[in-house]
Structure 1
Amino acid sequence: MTSTTDPATRERSRVALVTCDLFPDLWEDDHPLRDTLRARGAEVDVVPWDAAGVDWAAYDVAVIRSPWDYVARRDSFVAWAHSVPKLLNPADVLEWNTDKRYLTELAGAGLPVTPTDFVAPGETWTPPAAGEWVVKPTVSAGSQDTGRYHLPARSAQAEAHVARLNAAGRTAMIQPYLAAVDEVGETALIFLPDARGDLSYSHAIRKGAMLTGPDEGAIKPGSERIDPRTPSEAEHKTAERVLEAVRGGTRRLLYARVDLIPGPDGAPLLVELELTEPSLFLKEGGDAATRRLAEAILARV
């Protein structure tokens, strides 16, 4: 892969940017990518993943961006992904990454993952005696159905949250609330292909704390403040170690986002590895990040 693409190839390129009905014109952060691809001669369509009658084989490449309504229909979403001839990121990666039980695999590989317990339907869960804990489903997006509980005062509410998820056939996950997020925030490192096609660091942002309480109204309105951030050396190394553990290697990936929060000892802990439909914060990454991603897409045509 090179950082430029033959103009004739660009003129032939048909690119689908995959979204959902909730965002028919994409999430606004992806508008620069859409516009840059078109400026380079590509024909770009914004297409909901579940739109009827779409000939996905007619596109040179389909790029997952904002299909954020798939959570309630994950099985259908995964089946759709496997039906698309050329999808980025690839369907097997999406299948693995859309269920957060992948964290067990990464923890087993010796990576510093936030400690997580999983409770499947039919299993029992006894709340910890004390501390602050986060309860959420293993299949979710945008902090949906996520709650923060201070125990033992809210033990009954935490148990009820797990029970609701299980009753709906969903697996719950329970993690300690990492208090450093309140002051330090969460660091999201974004990786994109470089001129050689290797996934490498592009830019990073800081996200402020969002969770305030139980899953009904757990997210403080307007609380997701995003700022550019320069990651620490430890965060860089941790993110790179996480990516080294991705099944099949990273050369298949068009993008990756590694979300980290300091643990009790200050060392970075993995919160999520986002390989499916993450916000890439292209506005914070600037024109260079957008151009880099656009050229990587055209190089995959």
Structure 2
Amino acid sequence: MRVVLASCAALPKGDGDEDALVEALQRDGVDVVWQPWGEPVDADLVVLRATWDYTERLDEFLAWCEGVPALANPVPVVRWNTDKSYLVELAGRGVPVVPTAVVVPGEIPDFPDGEFVVKPAIGAGSRGAARFTGHAEALAHLEALGVKALVQPYQSSVDAHGETALVFFAGEYSHSFHKGPMLAQGLAESESGLYVEEELRGIEPDRRQVELANQALDVAAELLSLRRQDFLYARVDVVAGADGEPLLLELELTEPTLGFKHTGEDAASRLSAAIRGTASR
């Protein structure tokens, strides 16, 4: 069995988080290699991982995905999930989501009271995300982005408690990790140019967070006419709202960091098993 982990030219072998996964796949007898996206690929399964420059070349990226014989997650998932407007769809189906307004270029949004976040609707690694209180500065940022964007009230709980990322493989819960706050006032800083550095550590989610994550996955699968197990991997990012109840910040189904560095080696083995099951279908 041959599996390709898709990356990008700037990080041809990822950022190191997948090292444990490569080792697990090799132990399980899989011929696994890294390959930057964009070129023809020959494999039983291509797994999107560190493809983090696609945001500037989305049409090209989606066309390449369409040409891959077997892709995980599947192309309809990638097409839907690379535009964060999906949050509005999930909210419309009853998923508790951080309130989200979609703003097209030239539109003047009705900004939330207090602090709020502006970020590209098509983006990865928190690039282009910024936190504001002033409307003039936010409008200038929207103009500078020049693309469809999201406006969301900033959840102040993140400053004290950060985010919880819950990871699922083939629809089943695997592990979680904690993400520290990244957005000070103004634009998030990216040293690599591809993603904003995050402070991560393993964490155990509470019951309400797990319930929200399961609800988000169930609704996403229904929207896409898929089964939960059709999502080879999923990362559900959750924050606490003003009342302490969990809210969905993002449902990452395309190329999320999965936090292997911050959990036991069993997690990599679980994804290896899921990859082998998907590739053999």
Q: CA deviation digits over 1:125-184, x for unaligned, max 9?
A: 2444x400000110001110111012xxx2211110112223xxx101100000001111
Instruction: Summarize the Cα distance change of 1:41–1:72 in structure 2 as closer, same or farther, 3 Å threshold.
Output: same
Residues of 1 paired with 2:46 and 2:269: CA distance? 18
> Counterpart amino acid of 2:212?
T
Deviation at 1:223, TM superposition (A): 6.5
Q: 2:211 aligns with which of 213, 228, 237?
A: 237
Residues of 1 paired with 2:245 and 2:190: CA distance? 27
Residues of 2 paired with 1:226 and 1:131: CA distance? 27
Q: CA deviation digits over 1:201-259, x for unaligned, max 9?
A: 1110111111012227489x996211111111100101000000122121211110000
Q: 1:92 aligns with which of 53, 76, 86?
A: 76
Equivalent in the alignment of 1:63: 47
Residues of 1 paired with 2:217 and 2:189: CA distance? 33
Q: 1:141 aligns with which of 119, 124, 128?
A: 124
Q: 2:2 aligned with 1:21, yes or no?
A: no
Residues of 2 paired with 1:32 and 1:109: CA distance? 36
Tell me, yes or no, if the aligned pair for 1:190 and 1:256 is still in contact at 8 Å. yes
Residues of 1 paired with 2:278 and 2:44: CA distance? 8
Q: How many residues align?
A: 272
Residues of 2 paired with 1:126 and 1:163: CA distance? 15
Select between 107-116 and 42-51 the one with higher mean Cα deviation.
42-51
Residues of 1 paired with 2:264 and 2:188: CA distance? 35
Select between 271-280 and 243-252 the one with higher mean Cα deviation.
243-252
Equivalent in the alignment of 2:187: 215
Tell me, yes or no, if the aligned pair for 1:209 and 1:223 is still in contact at 8 Å. no
Residues of 1 paired with 2:21 and 2:275: CA distance? 10
Structure 1 residues 112-191: aligned runs within 5 Å = 112-128=96-112, 130-150=113-133, 154-166=134-146, 170-191=147-168
Residues of 2 paired with 1:218 and 1:135: CA distance? 16
**Which runs of 5 or more residues in structure 1 are unaligned?**
1-12, 194-198
Instruction: Summarize the Cα distance change of 1:205–1:172 in structure 2 as closer, same or farther, 3 Å threshold.
Output: same
> Counterpart amino acid of 1:162?
L
Instruction: Summarize the Cα distance change of 1:205–1:47 in structure 2 as closer, same or farther, 3 Å threshold.
Output: same
Deviation at 1:185, TM superposition (A): 1.3
Residues of 2 paired with 1:32 and 1:66: CA distance? 15
Equivalent in the alignment of 1:10: none
TM-score if structure 2 supplies the norm length?
A: 0.92
> Counterpart amino acid of 2:8?
C
Q: CA deviation digits over 1:87-127, x for unaligned, max 9?
A: 01001100000000001110000110100111112323244
Residues of 2 paired with 1:144 and 1:92: CA distance? 24
Residues of 1 paired with 2:211 and 2:151: CA distance? 26
CA RMSD of aligned residues (A): 1.7
Residues of 1 paired with 2:136 and 2:107: CA distance? 17
> Counterpart amino acid of 1:137?
P
**Which runs of 5 or more residues in structure 2 are unaligned?**
none
Q: 2:231 aligned with 1:253, yes or no?
A: yes
Q: CA deviation digits over 1:247-300, x for unaligned, max 9?
A: 212121111000000000000000000000001111222111101111111122
Instruction: Summarize the Cα distance change of 1:216–1:275 in structure 2 as closer, same or farther, 3 Å threshold.
Output: closer
Instruction: Summarize the Cα distance change of 1:26–1:116 in structure 2 as closer, same or farther, 3 Å threshold.
Output: same
Whose Rg is larger? 1
Instruction: Summarize the Cα distance change of 1:146–1:279 in structure 2 as closer, same or farther, 3 Å threshold.
Output: same
Residues of 2 paired with 1:77 and 1:192: CA distance? 24
Equivalent in the alignment of 1:263: 241
Tell me, yes or no, if the aligned pair for 2:190 and 2:196 is still in contact at 8 Å. no
Instruction: Summarize the Cα distance change of 1:103–1:208 in structure 2 as closer, same or farther, 3 Å threshold.
Output: same
Q: 1:50 aligns with which of 38, 49, 54?
A: 38
Q: 1:192 aligns with which of 166, 169, 177?
A: 169
TM-score if structure 1 supplies the norm length?
A: 0.86
